[in-house]
Amino acid sequence: MDYSKLVDVYEQLNKTTKRLEKTHIISEFLKDVSLDDIEHVILLLEGRVFPNYDARELGVASRLMLKSLSTATGISIEKIENEWKKQGDLGLVAELIVKAKKQSTLHSTKLAVKKVFDNIRKLAELEGQGTVERKTQLIAELLTSAKPLESKYIVKTILGEMRIGVGEGAMRDAIVWTFFNDKIGVKYTREGNDIEVEDREIYNKYLGAVQSAYDVTNEFAVVAKAAKKGMQSLENIEMQVGIPIQVMLALKVDTIQEAFETVGRPAAIEFKYDGFRIQAHKSDKGHIRLFTRRLEDVTKQFPDVVEFVKKNVKGKSFIFDSEAVGYNKKTGKYLPFQNISQRIKRKYDIEKISQDFPVELNVFDIIYYEGRNLINEKFEKRRKLLEKIIKQEPMKIVLAKSKITSDKKEVEKFFKEAVNAGNEGLMFKALDAPYKPGARVGYMIKFKSVMETLDLVIVGAEWGEGKRAKWLSSYAIACIDENGNFVEIGKASTGLKEKEEEGLSFLEMTRLLKPLIISEKGKEAKVNPKVVIEVEYEEIQKSPTYESGYALRFPRIIKIREDKGPEEANTLDYVKKLYEGQKKS
């Protein structure tokens, strides 16, 4: 397939914010995609070339892209950089300079989707001496053949800056509309931005089948290829050890009564730990792999946890869900997440840091055991299985502290015990509920008595003044609106330290954000939305200043949420809910 056809779809998707219209655009396009191209196309529509659990990185920053553009067009890096400062978008710069060059000397041939996909993937495989030159040539090869619009999206894909608003719901529905429309009869009307369905029950059946396949693969590229072959192929997709699935997420409530009303009585009540999720996999061959909630493979960073799992969990193959929590070696008391967060990214001195910052693995769910998918089993049954197969060893691996009760006073007592142990609060779980990957459903509830903090994405930053002039010291923070866009909700600068040894510092934040700078104007910098921070505040106010329509009063940065990706930031709907809750209290 010609890459230009995919680019046409990118352009159409960019022109609408309506989810149903995006779904229609994708579904119409997918009808003409061959079986050979379908996986490449789906991944490129998602703005990447590797599944989201694949740890490989392209290793291309803005400077290397400037060099590649210069190599492809013959225009000096200085001129391209000046244009970049004007436009603030390297993809747009690529389109403009390639368009100008096409009118004179730049050669153009038809680019195939596979060629673009293969060249971009090869970028991650290059290492050693001469890597920069070889990467430059691979990118320049594509740009030399690309049309102006094609060059724009090639650059955006490589830099990880694709923002075309294709969410999981739109992709799932598009697969159903494309490959099963003869069964469900979906008709989309652009004027009313609505759909007509011949039989809603059958429609929901196919939606459920595609969602179930995605739940166990975590990859729409695989799901789409199976769906193109037919329903039987889709239903034959199974969970695989070594390929992480999205973890089940919890809803938040403000009262114990509300929690019981949601999950039912009696309920399983567990400590809510202030650590980070670990999804542990063991294969039939005895290989153990560990994944975070962002699906990052952190096996090498946690050799201690690998040993805990190897020695204390019975079974040839399994996948379980847990929380790794740091603790004070002298007192045994749990520590806040920030104390151990550095272990997630650490690549060197692993043994030393594991001794300096030990963790205890608190296991609370199991989703696969000895070849059986358990996500549709009742939680009560899954918990009992864990009790049979885990040999508990405090300060290494234990079952999450839990009790089953209907009594509010007993919960209040358990809550105090949790907080006194250094935890955040409690989790409420429905005893008869399945495990629902990637969803916030009423099967699992979190309860904390303090004002709810917000997880927000840094989308901009500002260089400081005086002794802070060398640091990015003020940060534009954003939540996610209903269309998946980041909308600003304020600026935060307090909570950080000037000295590294005192905690999260301006220097550490600058190191994180500087490589993510997209453009600069004066002291203000626009950054790629990658860093998630937890923010506390005094109050949420309505505000015409920010595009979200809200502003945080006296925001303060608590910590970096290295365990969360930007797509997991709080939504604008949630901010509105908190705002309304303030008015009632």
Above pLDDT 70, what percent of the chain? Answer: 98
Q: What is the dihedral of CA 505, 90, 160, 527, to 10 degrees?
A: 20
Question: CA of 225: how far to CAs of 38, 41, 244, 369, in Å?
Answer: 6, 11, 19, 27
CATH number, domain with residue 466:
2.40.50.140
Q: How far is CA 497 from CA 503, 508, 584, in A?
A: 6, 10, 36
**Pair (489, 365) in one structural domain:** no
Q: CA 210, CA 543: separation in Å to the nearest integer?
A: 41
Phi, psi of 409 (to 5 degrees): -65, -35
Do residue 257 and residue 378 come from a single domain? yes
Catalytic residue among 135, 272, 448, 559: 272
Strands (E), 338-485: 359-369, 372-373, 397-399, 402-405, 425-430, 440-447, 454-463, 472-480
Q: Flag whether pLDDT at 107 surpasses 80.
A: no
pLDDT for 393 equals 96
Q: Which helix (H) or strand (E) holds 194?
A: strand 194-196
What CATH number is associated with residue 141?
Answer: 1.10.3260.10
pLDDT at 343: 82
Strand 359-369 to strand 372-373: parallel, antiparallel, or no bridges (unpaired)?
antiparallel
Taking only the tens place, the pLDDT of each residue in 446-482 is 998 656 789 999 999 999 888 888 999 999 999 999 8
Compute the average pLDDT of residues 104-132.
87
Same domain, 300 and 394: yes
Question: Are 265 and 414 contained in the same domain?
Answer: yes
Its pTM stands at 0.77
DSSP code per residue over 12-33: HHHT---HHHHHHHHHHHHTT-
Residue 178 lies in a domain: no
281 and 362 share one domain: yes
The CATH number for 334's domain is 3.30.470.30
C-beta separation of 355 from 372 below 8 A? no
Tell me the per-residue pLDDT of 13-46, one tens digit each, with 9 for 90 and over: 999 988 999 999 999 999 999 999 999 999 999 9
Residue 185 lies in a domain: no
- 284: confidence class by pLDDT, cuts 50, 70, 90: very high
Q: Are residues 459 and 531 in the same domain?
A: yes
- Report the chain's mean pLDDT, rounded to a whole number: 91
Number of folded domains that form the chain:
3
| Residue 109, pLDDT above cutoff 80 | no
Task: Check residue 384 and give its pLDDT.
Answer: 98
555 inside domain: yes
pLDDT at 193 over 90: no
CB 313 within 8 A of CB 307: no
| 272 included as an active-site residue | yes
Domain that holds residue 359: 249-447
| pLDDT on residue 449 | 62
Q: Which helix (H) or strand (E) holds 9?
A: helix 3-14
Tens digits of residue pLDDT in 309-318: 999 999 999 9
Residue 263 has pLDDT above 80, yes or no: yes
What are the backbone dihedrals phi and psi of residue 195, each rounded to the nearest 5 degrees, phi first? -125, 150
C-alpha to C-alpha distance for 294 and 507, rounded to whole angstroms: 25
Model confidence at 157, pLDDT cuts 50, 70, 90, reads: very high
The answer on 366 and 302 residing in a single domain is: yes
pLDDT at 584 over 70: no
Whether 28 is in a domain gets the answer no
Residue 135 sits at φ, ψ, to 5 deg, of: -65, -45
Shared-domain flag, residues 149 and 277: no
Answer whether residue 396 is part of any domain.
yes
Residue from 435, 416, 434 nearest 426 by CA: 416
CA separation, residue 477 to residues 337, 491, 570 (Å):
21, 6, 11
Q: With 70 as the cut, is the pLDDT of residue 308 above it?
A: yes
pLDDT-derived band of residue 164, with 50, 70 and 90 as boundaries? confident
Does any domain span residue 239? no
Question: With 90 as the cut, is the pLDDT of residue 500 above it?
Answer: no
Q: Which of 410, 426, 447 is the last residue of a domain?
A: 447
Of 394, 412, 447, the domain-final residue = 447
Q: Is 42 exposed, middle or buried (0-12, 13-18, 19+ CB in 10 A)?
A: buried
Number of H helices, E strands in the chain: 22, 22
Q: Is 104 exposed, middle or buried (0-12, 13-18, 19+ CB in 10 A)?
A: exposed
End residue of a domain, out of 409, 430, 447: 447
Beta bridge partners of 532: 457
Most confident of 391-400, 413-422, 537-546: 391-400
Q: How far apart are CA 223 and CA 213, in angstroms?
A: 6
440-447/425-430 β-pairing:
antiparallel
- Decide: 37 and 113 in contact? Cβ < 8 Å: yes
For the chain, report the end-to-end CA distance as a whole number of angstroms: 58
Cα gap 540→552, rounded to integer Å: 5
Least confident of 21-25, 130-134, 574-578: 574-578
What average pLDDT does range 368-397 have in this prediction? Answer: 96
Q: What is the mean pLDDT of residues 214-238?
A: 94
| In a shared domain, residues 495 and 523 | yes
Residues 494 and 410 grouped into a single domain: no
Q: What percent of the chain has pLDDT over 90?
A: 68
Answer positive or negative: Cα dihedral of 249, 253, 258, 260: positive
Find out whether the peptide bond into 266 is cis, omega within 30 degrees of 0. Answer: yes
Confidence of residue 102 (pLDDT cuts 50, 70, 90): low
Predicted confidence (pLDDT) at residue 105 exceeds the cutoff of 90: no
What would the two tokens of residue 136 be?
Answer: 């430059």
Q: Which two tokens stand for residue 279?
A: 């999804």
543 within some domain: yes
Same domain flag for 292 and 431: yes
pLDDT score of 149: 95
Q: What is the mean pLDDT of residues 342-371?
A: 88
DSSP state of 317: S
pLDDT at 270 exceeding the cut of 90: yes
Kindly state the average pLDDT of the residues 77-101. 90
Are 274 and 413 contained in the same domain? yes
**pLDDT over 70 at 372, yes or no:** yes
Q: Does 32 reside within a domain?
A: no
Residue 104: pLDDT above 70? no
